[in-house]
Chain A
Amino acid sequence: DAKTTQPPSMDCAEGRAANLPCNHSTISGNEYVYWYRQIHSQGPQYIIHGLKNNETNEMASLIITEDRKSSTLILPHATLRDTAVYYCIVRVGGGTSYGKLTFGQGTILTVHP
């Protein structure tokens, strides 16, 4: 699976958009980009995933560059409850590999009032 690189920490003002980058320059054509977050003292929470098209759901938007070497998770109107560690994960599926997630250090997003 491709290695990912994320900034260790970011700040965002409440109500503003939070844009969290992830670099995955060695990604291969059949690898998906997944985003999770972990709020303090809770288990990780799935946010969104994509292959090559941009994706949006009720939580966030995922923008993947055309060459697929990087992506950005966008929280359009950050709230204090979005303060968490955000993980970008790249995975290729197949057989019993599904569901096995490898979490790196992620980005600590702090949303300020």
Chain B
Amino acid sequence: DVKVTQSSRYLVKRTGEKVFLECVQDMDHENMFWYRQDPGLGLRLIYFSYDVKMKEKGDIPEGYSVSREKKERFSLILESASTNQTSMYLCASSPPATFEAFFGQGTRLTVV
């Protein structure tokens, strides 16, 4: 069974903390993505990567960075967490040349 695994379902962090959200996929997919989902705003793409060490900004990259040192792992980093980054974060992966993406269960991050 295909799997995209996010390291935590729920996280609570303090303002100003550096936060790491981890995502691992076992399908050998080239493409990996980080989205955030907020009520009334739908899913918005933060960053994506189409190869190891490659990354590209999505629609809302400000305040975030990413790391992809290995094909199966894609990390989202909040350099200095702020309350407006409280959200549901979703990781996804997909093979090349398709929009058939596989999503993780999501991490609900609360910044206090």
B101 A103 Cβ-Cβ under 8 A? no
In contact, B98 and A98 (Cβ under 8 angstroms): yes
Q: Which of A9-17, A21-29, A37-45, A76-84 binds B?
A: A37-45
**How far is it, in angstroms, between the C-alpha of A101 and the C-alpha of B101 when the chains are bound?**
9
Q: Which of B80-104 contact A (CB under 8 A)?
A: 90, 92, 94, 96-104
**Complex interface bits, B24-65 against A, C-beta within 8 A gives 1, otherwise 0:** 000000010100000000110100101000001010000000
Where chain B touches its partner, the secondary structure class is strand
A30 within 8 A of B: no
- Name B58's closest neighbour in chain A (CB-CB): A100
Given A34-B99, A96-B56, A99-B101, verify A43-B94 contact (CB < 8 Å). Answer: no
Pair count A-B, CB < 8 A:
64
Given A96-B50, A99-B92, answer yes or no on A42-B106 (Cβ-Cβ < 8 Å).
yes
B45 to chain A minimum Cβ distance, whole angstroms, is 6
Q: How long is the Cα–Cα vector from A104 to B43 in the complex, in angstroms?
A: 8
Interface size class of B (residues with CB under 8 A): 20 to 34
For the complex, is B67 an interface residue (Cβ under 8 Å from A)? Answer: no
User: Complex Cα distance A20/B68, Å?
Assistant: 38
Partner of A100 from B4, B48, B96, B100 at Cβ < 8 Å? B48
| A93 CB–B CB distance under 8 Å | yes
Q: Which residues of B contact A54 (CB under 8 A)?
A: none
Report how far A32 CA is from B99 CA in the complex, Å. 9
Q: Is B110 an interface residue (CB 8 A)?
A: no
A98 to B73 CA separation, bound complex (whole angstroms)? 19
CB–CB A45/B103 < 8 A: yes
A sample of 15 inter-chain contacts (CB < 8 A) reads A32-B99, A42-B106, A43-B106, A44-B43, A44-B101, A49-B99, A96-B50, A98-B31, A98-B50, A98-B94, A99-B31, A99-B98, A101-B43, A101-B92, A101-B101
Given contacts A49-B99, A96-B48, 20 further A-B contacts (CB under 8 A): A34-B99, A42-B105, A42-B106, A43-B4, A43-B103, A44-B101, A46-B101, A91-B99, A96-B56, A98-B31, A98-B50, A98-B98, A98-B99, A99-B50, A99-B98, A99-B101, A101-B99, A102-B43, A103-B43, A105-B42
